[in-house]
Structure 1
Amino acid sequence: MAPTFGYLQLSLVGERADEVTGELEALAAHFDGSIKGRVFAELEPPGQALWSMLTAGEHERIRATAARRRIALERVLGGPPPTTALWMLLDTLARCNGEPTYLLVPSPQHFDGLGVPRDLMLRRFADACPSLLVRYADSAQATLLLDGQPLRETSADDGSGALVDLTVEAFAHPVEVVRSYARWKLSRAGLGDLVEPVDSLMRLLVGAAVDDPTTAGDNRLRVVIHPPQATTLTLEVWETGDHSDEPVGGKVRQLVDPGGTVERYRSAPGGTVTCCELVLPTARSRPTKRHVAVEFGIEGLPIQHYQADADVAEVFAAEARRKHLVAQVTIDDLVTPEMRLLPCHRLFLP
């Protein structure tokens, strides 16, 4: 059972605290979890609590006194609540050790008015627990929300076969939404070694879509991660905005190297698709053959051409140069079947 927690501001639910907590518990059960004993409830701001106990006549006298003394009463009454529960929650999330974790909140408004911008708070949550999935239960809409946005995810039996298929709007906080969701899905699928490169790509590609002033206002993003094939993993970012003529950034290309590919093209409806193909770490670690050209510096002896595993070729070349065993060693990928195996191949195996 995945760790599941609840968070709410008591000032926003009033006497419905037990009812709202029950709704969160029902939502937790939907994910085979429970928030019993794991609800972090932020207390009502002291100024609001005291104000609610006063009569209308007392309100008027306090307002008159505040005006006379030039005290901004609205600031006193509208100040943020204590954030003790928020800090305790953040500390708890940091102890989840990378496990897929749920945080259930009545609505996005429960992250507002705390003296810290909501997007900053969500980034701290993601830093503390990268596998965190924040879900809102808005009883008025009777729907599941992910970071305030309706979660559109393909079901496992719809025939698409995608590991991740998530649609978000390019406003609010889609970067953290997509990053958290992708990390969670990859971890659950046993692909933990792909979490970091995919996370970095999502941060760059989705972040660029959000920051683009020409498209972000009405840009819808669809992120698709396909199940890994024999040696590669393919991910796509579909956008309704059209910037397909823009080159892909150098940082994205660096992330897919070595051996991967990235391309950008215009989709049929007129939007933009950025497709990245990553080489799996297991495939990248397999020895690949390299051409080793050895020049001994002996008159009449032609250059000798061999093949060797990539790591063996590098070690041999370094040793040969260091000990001056040969005149020159050149390594490239121009391997042909006729080339003999490097005679001392076994000596340089890792």
Structure 2
Amino acid sequence: MLPPDRPAPDPDGPTSIGVIANPSSGRDVRRLLGWASVFPVSEKVNVVLRLLSALGSLGVEQAWMLPDAAGIASRVREAADLARSRHPMPQVRLLEMPIHDAARDSAHAAAALADLGVGLIAVLGGDGTHRAVAAHCGEVPLATLSTGTNNAFPRLREATLVGVAAGLLVTGRVPPELGLRRNKCLRITGRGTDELALVDVCVSRELARGAGAIGDGAHLSEMFVAFAEPAQIGLSSIAGLSCPVSRDDPFGLHLQLGSGRTLQAPLLPGVLQPVSIAAARRLLPGRPVPVHAARGTLVVDGERLIEFDDGHALQVELELQGPRTLDVEAVLEVAARRGLLFDVPGPLAPE
């Protein structure tokens, strides 16, 4: 980690971005419970290289990466060094930090990259990885790349296009007010608890944590969502297929689960399960709602995270000023209309 008294980044230094690639994303227990695909290390290396190739073509000079036990970062650095003789590629540098093969690696890397003053952090992972980074990156925007199982927060996009959009943003060709979006989030607070959720918080009656992921809706008693889209898989599909909330709506949703109408929800790849919904209410910003259960486990963005009992008195609040993310479609739209990718920039007017 970088020391807290690190001097401010040099504005005349190299244009740089950060990359956090979770080696464990896309490889959890849901492969045993359903038919989810495995996202191998070799493909994560290729995704990062496609991202860096596009960034290098647009003048980004340096990429800082989270080192990892699986060797993603070291393989990317080696391949980028070899490719630089024939193609512009950013210099890949590894953060100097201890590795624990856990979510705290992503969190520590996000804080270190923010201290370095990178223009953007590209994140390869699912909802859990993005949550860990978003909680520690400050105002540094995120470029989201989906390599997890249930990817409600990161959209599925080709890394080359993400690299083009990121390069246009960090080199100043597209201003932040046109190329970034602000996301909603959920804040969980209580005695000794202050956690961030990007998508949803579910309350499970089960106390045993076991595997991190959860794929059975029978034990859920209530659910809070920042947004929920119908075309999603996982726990967020419960809200998305019963009462959708868009990323742009200035409210979220609070579902009471139990005796009521029964929904068939795709909680796992290839698996639909019945979930009973008793009531739905809008979750308004600045109005915390207490968790009704006296004891159980909070499932945050699809993973068991917090066990609680009567002494915790947990509550969930919607916040509108969550992390900033790269709006790939908006950036590419601006680039097309302004002709930013031509050798001589300018719009191409049809005859």
**So what's the TM-score if we normalise by structure 2?**
0.29
Higher RCO (C-alpha under 8 Å, 6+ residues apart): 2
Larger radius of gyration: 1
Structure with the bigger percentage of helix:
1
